[in-house]
Amino acid sequence: MILVKWLTRSTNDASRFVKIVYVLYRLIALIMLGSQIWMQQGNRVMIVLLTLVLFEIPAIIENKFKIMIPDILEIVIISFIFSSTILGELSDFYGYLPFWDTGLHTLNGFLAAGVGFSSIYLLNEGMTSIKLTPIFIAITSFCFSMTIGVMWEFGEFTADQWLNTDMQKDRIVQKVNSVELSDKPNTVGHVKNIDHTTIHTKDNKNIVVKGGYLDIGLIDTMKDLFVNLIGAIFFSIFGYYYSASHSRKYKFIRNFMVYKGK
């Protein structure tokens, strides 16, 4: 009984379909957890446990702040979590599908802007002395989304440094510009047409990187922030028109907004 209750745990007003999605995702996560424990993959076990904790966030936030989360938004949130950890990291969808990481970061920008928009919109509805303009709400939503995007990159960097993961994906490049490559002080050195790189360790091991030089995540980070920006702009534009006109034309925005609880 306790297991069934945990498997179906969701927000208070979640539909039957949402609960089914929770059960499916949690069962898959439990299977992954068992397999990673069996293979003694400590870091991957931590990722699965983190996923199970993140699945609790919608219910916790709803009860803590007395809000309502639409079914579509809740499904998108938990699907986003599942896609980034279970599918992306553990099943290597990031490697198999080059657009997977880009798509998730774009969606993150869109969703985070929606959360920011909802928060400001709810506050604005309850204010009598000051009314925020639609453009202010849109800009604040955009800034909130970009802040979340930066915090995500901080999380990836921390995981790479402390858990020895590779969340900030490497990339092979054929040119490098750096002051460390120049014989003159304060001058940028340029190396082009790099064919391969040899890494020599202190214990006399040589590791060859074929195809060029190994970028250690900078390009991936900047690409992630750029597509996060696109998602944030996309939602902020529609959010602006929605708050300015309340037109039925932009009613779909309400599927990605939280509301005051009953």
My answer on whether 159 and 233 are in the same domain is: yes
Same domain, yes or no: 82 and 195: no
Residues 102 and 227 in one domain: yes
pTM of the model: 0.84
pLDDT of 131: 76
Cα radius of gyration rounded to whole Å, the chain: 22
Judgement on whether residues 181 and 126 belong to the same structural domain of the protein: no
- Domain termination site, one of 59, 91, 123: 91
Q: How many domains does the chain have?
A: 3
Separation of alpha carbons 22 and 184, rounded Å: 59
The closest alpha carbon to 243, from 111, 142, 138, belongs to: 138
pLDDT tier for residue 77 given thresholds of 50, 70 and 90: very high
Residue-number span of the structural domain to which 178 is assigned: 173-210
Which range, 140-149, 170-179, 246-255, has the best average confidence (pLDDT)?
140-149
Q: Which of 68-72, 116-120, 226-230, 253-257 has the highest mean pLDDT?
A: 226-230
Same domain membership, residue 102 and residue 205: no
Which range in 118-132, 133-147, 155-169 is most confidently predicted, on average pLDDT? Answer: 133-147
Residues 7 and 74 in one domain: yes
Q: Are residues 8 and 81 in the same domain?
A: yes
pLDDT band at 127 (very low <50, low <70, confident <90, very high): low
